[in-house]
Amino acid sequence: MGKKRKHAEVEAVAEKKENVAPVRPPRTLFGWKNKPTENDEQQTFRNKEKVLVTCSRRINYRYRHLMLNLVSILPHCKKDNKVESKATKGATLNELVELKNCSSCLFFECRKHKDLYLWMSKCPNGPSVKFLVNAVHTMEELKLTGNHLKGARPLLTFSSNFDKDPHWKLLKEMITQIFGTPKEHRKSKPYYDHVFVFSIVDDHIWFRNYQISCPHTGDDKIDRGGLDKMTLIEVGPRFCLNPIKIFGGSFGGPTLYENPFYVSPNQIRSLEKRKKAGKYANKVKAKTKRNMHTMENQLVSDEIEGLWKA
């Protein structure tokens, strides 16, 4: 038989077992970095915003390139397959957002291969906004000289018009949550080298993306107050958002706001067709009037009209 261990050795083994690393608390979806305890005086909030970006079927190539440009400048977004644009798209998108573990959604919906609508929604309880997208210019189309680091966090700037009306305040908060990259996101870089500009002109939201350029050498560092040396160089893309409706739920629900100045593209095209039809009707009327005038005022036959004919 083997020798028995001494009492001191048994105590040393027990101490080694007690010095085991504590069990890591499970991750939660309530936005807290660590599991709150009773002794914690202040809980640290962690932003876990994730955005699902997808589009409808039969989308135009320019609009698809715009969607891919937004995916490239938003490191906290996730792409998904195309979704059929039907009446039940809201339930389908909410389910996709839940499966992808996201909290927001950007859905590009194309109608008649011409009109692009953007759904911006907070899932699953809302609110959601439907925009008409105009003046689309992609990065490949513009070929601008600006360039910034991929994955860097952007600065968000808004014009002073966003603080006037309640619906603009709501849109400002939604844009801040969706386009703002969370701090310490695994796909983001800890730098601020570009800025997103959202400005309201003629009740439309205009989007621009600029690179923050600081011309200096390796030894010459810019002071904190040296903003005169900084310049903005546009990167792209460009687009304009015309708000149509704001809903209380996700992709539907009670209407919180409706734009009274919105005119659908179908109405604009019908008015253009009516104008063209009016031009044709005026031509027909003028031709009929000329024929009537010619019949009423016929020329009198001349006596010597065929005198010199052989």
Residue 174 lies in a domain: yes
Q: What is the pLDDT of residue 162?
A: 95
Write the pLDDT tens digit of every residue in 124-162: 898 999 999 999 999 999 889 889 999 999 999 999 999
What's the pLDDT band for 15 if we cut at 50, 70, 90? low
Q: Which domain holds residue 123?
A: 51-217+225-269
Integer angstrom CA distances of residue 131 from 43, 86, 107, 241, 258: 37, 17, 10, 6, 11
Q: Give the separation between CA 244 and CA 259, rounded to whole angstroms.
A: 5
Share of the chain above pLDDT 90, in %: 57
> Would you say residue 32 has pLDDT above 50?
no
Q: What is the pLDDT of residue 52?
A: 96
Residue 24 lies in a domain: no
Six token digits for residue 106: 């950007």
Lowest-confidence segment of 176-185, 257-266, 268-277 by average pLDDT: 268-277
Q: What is the tally of structural domains in the chain? A: 1
Q: What is the pLDDT of residue 122?
A: 94
Residue 88 lies in a domain: yes
Q: What is the pLDDT of residue 35?
A: 52
Residue 293 lies in a domain: no
Task: Calculate mean pLDDT across residues 243-256.
Answer: 94
Residue 292 lies in a domain: no
Residue 11 lies in a domain: no
Q: Give the separation between CA 271 and CA 277, rounded to whole angstroms.
A: 10
Residue 186 lies in a domain: yes
Share of the chain above pLDDT 70, in %: 82
Q: Which residue has the higher pLDDT, 39 or 144?
A: 144
> Would you say residue 39 has pLDDT above 60?
no
- Mean pLDDT across the chain, nearest whole number? 85
> Would you say residue 8 has pLDDT above 70?
no
Residue 130 lies in a domain: yes
Q: Give the separation between CA 153 and CA 149, rounded to whole angstroms.
A: 9
Q: Which residue has the higher pLDDT, 127 or 219?
A: 127
Q: What is the pLDDT of residue 155?
A: 95
Length of the chain: 310
> Would you say residue 76 has pLDDT above 80?
yes
Give the CATH number, domain containing residue 186. Answer: 3.40.50.10480
